[in-house]
Amino acid sequence: MSVMSIESRPAPEHEALVDLLGVLAHAELTACLRMCADAEAAPDIGVRVALTRMATGEFGHYERLAERIEALGYDPTAAMAPFEEAIADFHDRTAPGDWLEGLVKAYVGDGIAKDFYREVASHLPEEDAALICSVLTDTGQEGFVVELVTGAIENDPAVAGRLAMWGRRLVGEAMAQAQRVAVHRDGLAGLIVGEAGMDLGELGRLFTRLTQTHADRMRRLGLSP
Amino acid sequence: MSVMSIESRPAPEHEALVDLLGVLAHAELTACLRMCADAEAAPDIGVRVALTRMATGEFGHYERLAERIEALGYDPTAAMAPFEEAIADFHDRTAPGDWLEGLVKAYVGDGIAKDFYREVASHLPEEDAALICSVLTDTGQEGFVVELVTGAIENDPAVAGRLAMWGRRLVGEAMAQAQRVAVHRDGLAGLIVGEAGMDLGELGRLFTRLTQTHADRMRRLGLSP
């Protein structure tokens, strides 16, 4: 990689795509680091390993997104910078209180991210769509998380109410930060919803679809959505 | 993996080897998690990425060590458990005060670990020796760390004294915890120094060799060892 050849400001025709790759890259990098912090707090070493495995998977996604930004001729750091605050805010507002909340956050967060990837892939140039789809393979930890969470609820049914509220808070905070980003990055919103451009109604419908698949995931964990 | 087939207590002939793989696995897992915490504290996103890349590399080592423990028929979690306290103590006593200390810790810790791997590989059965050697490939971040640390010293020469002391503390704490582990795990010490068995004099000579290569590394960072 030659630093000389990297532009920090994307050309207008690349602006929205570099924004999209930048926000996803920052989200994956930060998800990795916050998930590792949750892993460290887990008293059980098996849970710690499972969370760390999911976290390093997220960093693998980061690497592919950052490579693509570089291949387009831009600096990944500059592409990520505009999203630093919204992503940090999301995590600061959703710091898990214990390892169970950490597991639910990892499962729910990873699930929403994948649904979102599937949604946007269809509006992207072929190479970028292929990249986005390539990060959709699961890390094989999902079954393990479902088992642990449903097991914890069996042990203590009161846990279910607390975790259900936690799940609602997670998705609420995610949508709030996503909307905040979309409002400030017109091109990005347009790219996400496709041809319709920056139609905030279409963005709302996308959020509705994401909320529905999120509800299915909550039910798989034994939680009312 | 069938949980049924996994023994938690190694047979006597495997005890030292499972101990060795267990302590290395725990060290790699914990190095990954602590390094991610240091990465999160780094204000510069480039430093954050470099540290996270090193950290996920450590987790890759963990995965290979844990697989080998399972292939021998033992449970990685049980193999790691006896070393939890010594490894946590090392990290609690060496929590970096800033990102520069975090970088030096990552570089120095990774370096000592690799030297140690090289030392023990010669005393192991072929398959285990090959595994140990396979984790010796570098993550490509070493040059980046040297550049950042020497650059910081150029900017502010006073940094060199503080970081040199930090490096001495790191190696001192590492040796103290290693000795503590070796004293309590006779077979492990024997395996590490080879045929000579549990000769603590030989263990001392090993520590001297590790300290010497550590000093070379400190000099490469521009720090007096």
pLDDT digits (tens, 9 = 90+) for A104-136: 999 998 888 888 888 888 888 888 898 888 877
- Comparing A143 with B35, which gets the higher pLDDT? B35
Lowest mean pLDDT: which of A9-13, A37-41, B68-72, B207-211? A9-13
pLDDT of residue A199: 64
Q: Which residue in A has a C-alpha nearest to residue B79's C-alpha?
A: A45
Distance from CA of B9 to the nearest CA of A (A): 17
Residue B35 has pLDDT above 70, yes or no: yes
Residue B188 has pLDDT above 90, yes or no: no
Distance CA B67, CA B135 (A): 13
Q: Which of A37, A49, A53 sits opposite B40 (nearest CB)?
A: A37
Residue B128: both structure tokens together: 């285990």
On the CB side of B100, CA atoms within 13 Å amount to 20
pLDDT interval class at B12 (50, 70, 90) = confident
CB contact under 8 A, B49 and A66: yes
Mean pLDDT value across residues A143-161: 93
What pLDDT, in 10s, does the model give residues A160-201?
A: 999 999 999 999 998 888 888 877 787 787 777 776 555 667
Distance CA A195, CA A219 (A): 33
Chain B residue numbers with beta carbons less than 8 Å from the beta carbon of A36 are 32-33, 36-37, 55
Type of residue found at A165: M
CB contact under 8 A, B55 and A36: yes
Q: Which of A29, A55, A84 sits opposite B49 (nearest CB)?
A: A29
Best to test chain B binding among A33, A54, A65 (most B CBs inside 10 Å): A33
Type of residue found at A41: A
Residue A12 has pLDDT above 50, yes or no: yes
Q: Which residue in A has a C-alpha nearest to residue B88's C-alpha?
A: A40
Q: Which of A40, A56, A76 sits opposite B59 (nearest CB)?
A: A56
Distance from CA of B215 to the nearest CA of A (A): 31
- Comparing A199 with A90, which gets the higher pLDDT? A90
pLDDT of residue B81: 94
Residue B19 has pLDDT above 50, yes or no: yes
Mean pLDDT value across residues A8-15: 78
pLDDT interval class at B52 (50, 70, 90) = very high
Chain B residue numbers with beta carbons less than 8 Å from the beta carbon of A78 are none
Residue A215 has pLDDT above 90, yes or no: yes
- Comparing B193 with A36, which gets the higher pLDDT? A36
CB contact under 8 A, B53 and A59: yes
Residue A67 has pLDDT above 60, yes or no: yes
Chain A residues near any Cβ of chain B (below 8 Å):
29, 32-34, 36-37, 39-40, 45-46, 48-49, 52-53, 55-56, 59-60, 62-63, 66, 76-77, 80-81, 84
Mean pLDDT value across residues A139-148: 83
Distance CA B214, CA B217 (A): 5
pLDDT interval class at B2 (50, 70, 90) = very low
A103-124 in b/e burial notation, b at 16+ Cβ within 10 A? bbbbbbbbbbbbbbbebbbebb
On the CB side of B52, CA atoms within 13 Å amount to 31
pLDDT of residue A120: 85
Q: Which of B29, B46, B77 sits opposite A77 (nearest CB)?
A: B46
Q: Which residue in B has a C-alpha nearest to residue A26's C-alpha?
A: B45
Chain mean pLDDT for chain A: 87
What's the pTM? 0.89
Residue A155 has pLDDT above 60, yes or no: yes
A7 strand-pairing partners? A74
Percent share of chain B, pLDDT over 70: 92
**Is the CB of residue B202 less than 8 Å from the CB of residue B210?**
no
Chain B residues near any Cβ of chain A (below 8 Å):
29, 32-34, 36-37, 39-40, 45-46, 48-49, 52-53, 55-56, 59-60, 62-63, 66, 76-77, 80-81, 84
Q: Is B194 helix (H, G, I), strand (E, B) or coil?
A: helix
Mean pLDDT value across residues A89-108: 93
Residue A35: both structure tokens together: 């998930």
Percent share of chain A, pLDDT over 90: 57
Other Cβ atoms within 10 Å of B109 Cβ, number: 22
- Comparing A2 with B29, which gets the higher pLDDT? B29
pLDDT of residue B6: 62
Q: Is A74 helix (H, G, I), strand (E, B) or coil?
A: strand
Lowest mean pLDDT: which of A128-132, B144-148, B187-191? B187-191
B74 strand-pairing partners? B7
Chain B residue numbers with beta carbons less than 8 Å from the beta carbon of A45 are 77, 80-81, 84
What pLDDT, in 10s, does the model give residues B63-122?
A: 999 999 999 999 999 999 999 999 999 999 999 999 999 999 999 988 888 888 888 888
Q: Is B107 helix (H, G, I), strand (E, B) or coil?
A: helix
Chain mean pLDDT for chain B: 87
